[in-house]
């Protein structure tokens, strides 16, 4: 199932199946991710949302079918170049350095301290966080630092898995505002979310997964209507 019309797709999945041992994680998924829009992946736990997200920059490989980016199959891309253009932020944050500033410089060694502080500020963190030790970060703070680390390399596509799952309402609003700004500036964003209200607030396209299959796609209003039986 796919969406026709609308913006040109930047990522395309054609008949994608993912098996891991005896488990079928995705089953023949065909869909398109439009450029310059926010696509949200929704569905129950275990539906295949995170697996689909990881396929988009080769942290997962399909067992069958094909994934392409900008019209080229993913295996045709240098994987490191692909991951700079298509950045992934996992649900469970993994920090790799001892200091927040160094964390943001992993992909951007030239990032100055003021720019790093401004990036953190956009995500609702105080500018002073740039000098903090990563060991003292809460789960929600680490989640936003990892998001800032991904944004520091200025990717063309941002993939985020439950980006507000550990955040309070204020921090959630900041992250959603940034996602909206990124899309308005032309970035493609793909978000996994269980938050129905969040989907309504920021989604341009919704893909609904269940038991590894794509069962519906469309706008947030259309998906809500389908799920309510309207």
Per the prediction, the chain carries an average pLDDT of 93
pLDDT at site 225: 63
Question: What DSSP string runs through 146-203?
Answer: HHHHHHHT--SEEEEESTTTT--HHHHHHHHHHHHHHHHTT-EEEEE---HHHHHHH-
Quick: pLDDT tens for 164-185.
998 999 999 999 999 999 999 9
Burial classification of residue 68, based on how many CB atoms lie within 10 Å of its CB (0-12 exposed, 13-18 middle, 19 or more buried): middle
Q: Retrieve residue 24's tokens.
A: 């079928």
Q: How far apart are the first and last CA of the chain?
A: 20
pLDDT at site 179: 97
Is 220 part of any domain?
yes
Is 4 part of any domain?
no
pLDDT class for 220, splitting at 50, 70, 90?
Answer: confident
Q: Retrieve residue 28's tokens.
A: 């023949």
pLDDT class for 5, splitting at 50, 70, 90?
Answer: very low
Is 214 part of any domain?
yes
Residues 6+ apart with CB under 8 A from 137: 95, 100, 145
Is 65 part of any domain?
yes
Instruction: Select the more confidently predicted residue: 4 or 116.
Output: 116
Token pair 């736990």 in the structure block, residue: 45
Q: What are phi and psi of 129, to 5 degrees?
A: -65, -20
Is 161 part of any domain?
yes
pTM: 0.92
pLDDT at site 177: 97
Is 3 part of any domain?
no
Quick: pLDDT tens for 138-162.
999 999 999 999 999 999 999 999 9
> Which SS3 state, helix, strand or coil, does residue 50 take?
helix
Q: Structural domain of residue 197, as residue ranges? A: 9-227
Sheet with 23-34, edge to edge strand ranges? 23-34, 9-20, 64-69, 72-73
pLDDT class for 6, splitting at 50, 70, 90?
Answer: low
Residue 61 has pLDDT above 90, yes or no: yes
Mean pLDDT score, 94-120: 97
Per-range mean pLDDT, top range of 27-36, 191-200, 218-227: 27-36
Domain total of the chain: 1
Rounded Cα distance between 64 and 175, Å, is: 35
Quick: pLDDT tens for 65-91.
999 999 999 999 999 999 999 999 999
Contact indicator for 30, 66 with CB cutoff of 8 Å: no
pLDDT at site 8: 79
Is 106 part of any domain?
yes
Is 154 part of any domain?
yes
- Residue 66 sits in a domain whose CATH number is 3.40.50.300
pLDDT class for 226, splitting at 50, 70, 90?
Answer: low
């Amino acid at each position: 199932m796919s969406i026709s019309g609308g913006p040109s797709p930047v990522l395309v999945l054609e008949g994608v199946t993912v098996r891991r041992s005896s488990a079928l994680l995705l089953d023949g998924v065909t869909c398109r991710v439009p450029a310059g829009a926010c696509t949200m992946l929704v569905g129950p736990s275990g539906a295949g949302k995170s697996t689909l997200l990881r396929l988009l920059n080769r942290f997962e490989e399909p067992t069958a079918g094909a994934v392409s980016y900008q019209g080229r199959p993913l295996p045709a891309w240098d994987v490191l170049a692909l991951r700079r253009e298509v950045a992934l932020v996992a649900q469970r944050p993994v920090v790799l350095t001892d200091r927040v500033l160094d964390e943001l410089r992993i992909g951007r060694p030239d990032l100055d301290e003021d720019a790093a502080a401004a990036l953190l500020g956009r995500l609702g963190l105080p500018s002073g966080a740039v000098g903090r030790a990563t060991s003292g970060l809460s789960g929600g703070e680490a989640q936003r630092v990892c998001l800032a680390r991904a944004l520091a390399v200025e990717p063309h596509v941002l993939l985020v898995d439950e980006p507000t799952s550990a955040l309070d309402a204020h921090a959630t609003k900041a992250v959603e505002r940034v996602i909206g700004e990124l899309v308005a500036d032309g970035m493609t964003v793909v978000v996994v979310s269980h938050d129905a209200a969040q989907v309504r607030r920021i989604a341009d396209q919704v893909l609904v997964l269940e038991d590894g299959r794509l069962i519906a796609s469309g706008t947030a209003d259309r998906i809500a209507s389908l799920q309510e039986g309207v």
